[in-house]
Amino acid sequence: MGKRIGIVGTGFIAMKHLAAFEAQKEAEIAGMCTFSNMEKLHALCEEHRITPYDSMDKMLEKGDLDAVILCSVTACHYQEILKAATAGVSMLVEKPVVGETEQYQRVRRTVEQNRVRLFPGHNFMYRKPLAQMKKLLDEKALGTILQSSFFSAQLLDISGTENWRRQKALSGGGALIDSGHHLIYQMLYLLGVPARLQAFTANLRLQALEGEDTAQLNMQMMDGSLCVITESWASEAAEQLNGIRILGTDGEMHLTDALYVNGERLCAVESYDQTFVNQAQAFLAYMDGTGEPLSTLEDSEHTLQIIRAAYRSSAEGSVYRTKWHK
């Protein structure tokens, strides 16, 4: 019998997790709940033969779960984490794990006291080419790192008054705290933390969005190298630009449709759906004590600290010295 998993949410990301965990023989989707579209919940549960619940509380009480996957809106994560941990249930939590940096202390304490596991939903960490990039950097294959860039853009559909990303009270911000989260935790994995940053945010197209649709972070890393992160929800013409590029004194590498090192194509990038499958496997290994997450709760906290510092820098028009600055 596999691990009994419950899913909170029925949206786009919840469907990615559902498909990924249904493909694992070590897992069983034992329950699903939502707070909004009950008709959709019951239809999904009937199709996939899952027990539906009208609240997370009931699912935790009656589901006999080993773990939950939290795919609800960001503003709900904090209380959901505390509920799951108190019930003795481990969890995979979609990014951002919580919306405010001050919430991490209690989250960490509650998780530790109840001896459960919390796995950040940083799915892009589980791309094999990213691990190759890390290995090459650890081996100093590019020499001294000079400059890096992390770029992502898409045209986000925010039609419909119920789209939670439109509301800062639910999302915590805009493009930066949402999709930009992926870029920052990958930067931390590859290059470490920044010493200084200056950020700019703007709303240039999606006027119904309360937060920004475009953001850029300019950073100096602890080793002195320079890094740029650019995230936008306002363009449908940027697919060929999306990726990671790192320049060193002795070479360069970039990750787009594949990993290229000094012009040589090494390996293709897995599909978006495959990152969720890889992540599901890593989570189950973590549950069994046979593996560790590539991105930890501390990495999640550092990611949010950088994002909040970026928002302050943008609002104040200032260069922000991070807590890691020496």
Q: Are residues 167 and 306 in the same domain?
A: yes
Q: Are residues 41 and 149 in the same domain?
A: no
Reply yes or no on whether the pLDDT at 85 is more than 80.
yes
Q: Are residues 77 and 215 in the same domain?
A: no
Paired residues of 301 in beta bridges: none
Domain end (from 116, 143, 159): 116
Task: Measure CA 27 to chain center.
Answer: 22
The confidence score (pLDDT) of residue 300 equals 97
Q: Are residues 8 and 93 in the same domain?
A: yes
Reply yes or no on whether the pLDDT at 241 is more than 80.
no
202 is a domain residue? yes
197-222 pLDDT, tens digit each = 999 999 999 998 999 999 999 999 99
253-301 pLDDT, tens digit each = 999 999 999 999 999 999 999 999 999 999 999 999 999 999 999 999 9
Give 8's pLDDT tier (boundaries 50, 70, 90): very high
Looking at residues 156-178, what average pLDDT do you find?
A: 83
CATH of the domain at 63: 3.40.50.720
Q: Are residues 41 and 170 in the same domain?
A: no
Full domain range(s) for residue 261: 125-276+302-321
Domain end (from 87, 116, 145): 116
286 is a domain residue? no
The confidence score (pLDDT) of residue 160 equals 64
C-alpha pair distances (Å), 276 with each of 14, 76, 100, 252, 260: 11, 22, 25, 28, 23
The confidence score (pLDDT) of residue 162 equals 56
281 is a domain residue? no
For the chain, what is the domain count?
2
87: left (phi over 0), alpha (psi -120 to 50) or beta: alpha
Looking at residues 51-67, what average pLDDT do you find?
A: 96
Tell me the pTM: 0.96
288 is a domain residue? no
Give 99's pLDDT tier (boundaries 50, 70, 90): very high
Domain end (from 89, 116, 143): 116
Percent of the chain, pLDDT > 90? Answer: 89
